[in-house]
Structure 1
């Protein structure tokens, strides 16, 4: 369940919020005047999300290339090329 806290808690309980972000590896939603304003998360969680987004972007590019009939290489051919490159 998402944690939602008022902005005053961010100011008054920063260390506790930081600890919670690191322990639970979940974002904390901060409200201002009863409306969503910020999301606070640990750097590790942010980097994990960023890595997922990068992967999804690469997968989307690969899918688009496949749909446009871009030239492909089989797994065996690719591995053979890599082995030749690094074993030479």
Structure 2
């Protein structure tokens, strides 16, 4: 369940920091009853970036498949990558 806190809770920075690290998820900050900020630990942020990068890579591969309709044998593709990058 997402954590939603009023902006006044940011006065206690240690509590917010501890909560961010304990929950490993964003904390939503409201101002006058409306969403205003999102606060999270660096680890959570980096994990989200990594996940988004993977999603982009998958979307790009799917788009390429839609364009040419070609699939590559996994063993051949990996072998080609090994020759290209590790020789």
Please indicate the TM-score interval, normalised by the length of the shorter structure: 0.7 to 0.9
Counterpart for residue 14 of structure 1: 13
More off after superposition, 70-79 vs 30-39: 70-79
Unaligned runs of 5+ in 1: none
Shift of 1:70: 5.9
Cα distance in 2 for residues equivalent to 1:9 and 1:83: 52
TM-score by length of 2: 0.86
Cα distance in 1 for residues equivalent to 2:50 and 2:83: 29
Unaligned runs of 5+ in 2: none
Shift of 1:27: 1.1
Give aligned pairs, total.
Answer: 86
Confirm or deny that 1:67 pairs with 2:62: no
The verdict on how the C-alpha distance between 1:61 and 1:82 changes in structure 2, with shifts beyond 3 A counting, is: closer
Counterpart for residue 27 of structure 1: 26
Shift of 1:81: 2.4
Alignment partner of 1:68: what SS?
Answer: helix
TM-score by length of 1: 0.85
